[in-house]
Amino acid sequence: MRVGATGLACLLLSFAAAGVAAADQSETILRVCADPDNLPLSNQRGEGYENKIAEALASDLGRRVEYTFFPQRMGFVRNTLRQRDEATQQFKCDVIIGVPKGYELTATTRPYMRSTYALLFADPARYGEVRSADDLLKLPPDKLSSLRIGVFGRSPGADWLLRHGLLEQAVVYAPQSGDVHENPAHIIERDLNEKKIDVAILWGPMAGYLVQRHTASPSGSSRWHAVPFLPDPQIRFDYEIAMGVRFGEKQWQGELDNWIGSHQARIDEILSSYRVPLLDASGKVK
């Protein structure tokens, strides 16, 4: 998972005074910290689901959205949420739309999404019968042993392959590409198209996005399909996603909490339009 899974965890956070933070808020602008090229989450053209959530939030608050863009990797929080504009001395942005619940570098709102990692297939003719992770393990031995499985290092997918003796079949990708314009979804899509891998394990929202990209029409059947991992007692596949704000901004955090609580159905509708696999409180796919 790109959000909060690798480089961001390496940063240190300094704390802001609550009074200064409250005074820094704009009444007409929702200032959002975002990645400029990280679909399906966000991009500069406003095409990601985090962009759409930000637009819905801004509309309800009577504000317009302005972004501070920075690649969502090492330095993201320091250069966005914690950075002041040299001219105005105001913070550059006031909310990160997607961070893991309990994220150590920000205060977090109530979660608005619970998603999970997924298996992604580009060839339903060969793997259409796989509708769960267990189904993959039940493939004929010769078929299972021939799979080339794309997985990101230090991810739950790598742990799952190790547990089932499949790690030698893994095509392992670095958690972060050296190219800030090449995100995990782009890498997996390219290698599935070029048949360098047969199946991939990646963060579910990215898997759902690629399924959507390879669907003939909004109501049509996809040439690709994703299989979400269900909660596992030994390997954590699922994560709750919240919004991130500066520590000490209790009023702003509460305002966002209230908005999320009142508009969860609307948020779910946005996420579902990107085919994000959503889990309910019991861990079942919605």
| pLDDT of amino acid 218 | 58
Where does the pLDDT of residue 9 fall: very low under 50, low under 70, confident under 90, or very high at 90 and above? very low
Reported as a single tens digit per residue, the pLDDT across 249-280 is 999 999 999 999 999 999 999 999 999 999 99
Query: What's the Rg (C-alpha) of the chain?
Result: 20
Distance of alpha carbon 117 from alpha carbon 128, whole angstroms: 18
Q: Of 17-21, 154-158, 161-165, give the lowest mean pLDDT range.
A: 17-21
| pLDDT of amino acid 130 | 94
| pLDDT of amino acid 11 | 33
Q: Output 175-182 pairs: Cβ under 8 A, ≥24 positions apart.
A: 175/5, 175/6, 176/2, 176/6, 176/7, 176/73, 180/37, 180/71, 180/73, 181/37
Which residues on neighbouring strands pair with residue 244, listed in sequence order? 96, 108
| pLDDT of amino acid 24 | 57
Mean pLDDT for 64-88 is: 95
Q: What average pLDDT does the structure give for the chain?
A: 90
Q: With CA atoms as reference, report the closest residue to 157 among 171, 146, 138.
A: 171
Provide the CB-side half-sphere exposure for 278 (13 A, CA): 18
Count other Cβ atoms within 10 Å, centred on residue 108: 22
> Is the overall model pTM greater than 0.85, yes or no?
yes
Token pair recorded at residue 3: 């959000």
Mean pLDDT for 175-202 is: 90
Where does the pLDDT of residue 149 fall: very low under 50, low under 70, confident under 90, or very high at 90 and above? very high
Domains and CATH numbers, the chain: 7-113+239-273 (3.40.190.10), 116-228 (3.40.190.10)
Mean pLDDT for 189-217 is: 93
Contacts with 103 (C-beta within 8 Å, 6 or more apart), sequence order:
4, 242, 244
